[in-house]
Amino acid sequence: MSDRDAPPRRVERTDEEWRERLSPEEYRIAREGGTERAFTGAYWNTHAPGRYRCVCCGTALFSSEDKYDSGTGWPSFSDVLDPRVVATREDRSFAMRRTEVLCAVCDAHLGHLFPDGPPPTGLRYCLNSAALELDPDASVGDDTGNGPGASL
């Protein structure tokens, strides 16, 4: 790792501080490495344009432009917004050898990375909705007229 790969900033808090800021489900997944059940999260079937931020520190991590339907029931992305803010490490839990995906700014657990994504990257960032927060991009939406009065 060179300095070039370092995240732009660091956010560090105690477990008590995270517990106060997050819902129990968000804490279980983002701070304790949990996984939400497939097809239950807020974003597995979301197609709205925008950026997905870390639920813990607010850093923009993934773009809706890289989101695709993986059929797994978890929000899946083929690429990251900025490689400096998304970290990976080997995860040998549950007798499996997987690659864990983390927020490089605050070390939040986001999900896992698999090598079966679509081209050109061939990557599948399989994430938990509870670790993410969609920041909708109104300027990109041209299909439904996302004005203030528009209903969902």
* Nearer residue to Zn ion within complex by CB, 36 or 133: 133
Nearest by Cα to 9 from 109, 111, 107: 107
Question: In Å, what is the CA distance from 6 to each residue of 84, 85, 91, 105?
Answer: 6, 8, 21, 9
- DSSP element (H, E) containing 53: strand 50-54
* Nearer residue to Zn ion within complex by CB, 87 or 123: 87
User: Is residue 105 a contact residue for Zn ion (CB under 5 A)?
Assistant: yes
Residue range at the interface with Zn ion (CB under 5 A); choices 33-41, 43-51, 57-65, 69-77: 57-65
Q: Distance between terminal CA atoms of the chain?
A: 44
User: Is residue 108 a contact residue for Zn ion (CB under 5 A)?
Assistant: yes
Nearest by Cα to 11 from 100, 107, 90: 107
* Nearer residue to Zn ion within complex by CB, 103 or 126: 103
Q: Out of 22, 102, 106, 130, which residue is the one contacting Zn ion (CB under 5 A)?
A: 106
**Shortest distance (Å) from residue 55 CB to Zn ion:** 8
User: Is residue 57 a contact residue for Zn ion (CB under 5 A)?
Assistant: yes
Residue range at the interface with Zn ion (CB under 5 A); choices 21-29, 88-96, 101-109, 120-128: 101-109
Radius of gyration of the chain (CA): 16
- Active site annotation includes 126: yes
Instruction: Return the SS3 of 92.
Output: coil
* Catalytic annotation, residues: 126
Which residues of the chain form contacts with Zn ion (CB under 5 A)? 54, 56-57, 103, 105-106, 108
